[in-house]
Amino acid sequence: MSDRTLLIYGASGHAKVIIDIVERAGRYRIVGLLDDDPQLQSEKFFGYPVLGGGERLAEESYPDHRLVIAVGDNFARREIWRRVEALRNFQYALAVHPAAQIGREVQLGEGTVVMANVAINPGTLIGRQVIINTGATVDHDCLIGDFAHISPGVHLAGNVQVGELTHLGVGTAVLPGVHIGARSLIGAGAVVIGDIPDGVIAVGVPARVIKQRSQIGPGGADDPSDHSG
């Protein structure tokens, strides 16, 4: 195991997957987790101590640790990132499962998580704090914006663009060259054959916009179809 140390922000099911990735990859040694839920603090989570809430990141006792934000909801993840940035300038680790296939000239932004059996093909650019979830495929020359979540089993053809904070539900398929806007939600199992604008919910085969995604609470979950892993 590496002597490079890592903190994980968030003690949830998503964090369990990230812990497993980090352990298998062997690039970092996990020193503990942070979570803002007082009931989780001072407890063990998946074998590691929950050291406290996010305010502990301001302490000088964490000068050299890298950080991964283990929160699946895009808007909550961005809010935590903003709070961390206001405290101090942390470096974020990449968490890439050894069973992921990363092609030539692929760029992964800071804090991005790539899970098991993912394939990302050449020329793809992925922003910061993105989740590429289990078994997803991202073909050549795609562009994935910051804080996006590509759920398990999603398949993106070549030259697809996905805007920041957008969530593609489990099993979504997107045809070549399609542009999906920022802050949108694509329901599980949708087939996207044409461009999708910013800030909408789209579902079905083919995917059709059913409403504006205008009421987004602190956790970002504004619709039952948002439960997509």
Nearest by Cα to 2 from 24, 33, 20, 27: 27
Mean pLDDT within 159-186: 98
Residue 47's pLDDT is 94
Over 50: is that where the pLDDT of 227 sits? no
pLDDT digits (tens, 9 = 90+) for 47-70: 999 999 988 888 766 667 899 999
Over 90: is that where the pLDDT of 229 sits? no
Over 60: is that where the pLDDT of 224 sits? no
- Cα separation of 117 and 132, whole Å? 10
**Chain mean position to CA 112:** 6
Helix (H), strand (E) counts: the chain: 2, 24
- Cα separation of 199 and 50, whole Å? 35
Over 60: is that where the pLDDT of 26 sits? yes
Asked whether 129 and 69 are in contact (CB, 8 A), the reply is: yes
What's the mean per-residue pLDDT of the chain?
91
Out of 97, 140, 149, 155, the active site residue is: 140
State yes or no: is 140 an active-site residue: yes
Over 80: is that where the pLDDT of 210 sits? yes
Percent pLDDT > 70 in the chain is: 90
Residue 43's pLDDT is 87
Mean pLDDT within 87-92: 84
Q: What's the whole-model pTM score?
A: 0.92
Residue 35 neighbours by CB distance under 10 Å? 23
Overall size of the chain counted in residues: 229
- Cα separation of 213 and 117, whole Å? 31
Q: Which domains does the chain have, with CATH numbers?
A: 5-87 (3.40.50.20), 94-210 (2.160.10.10)
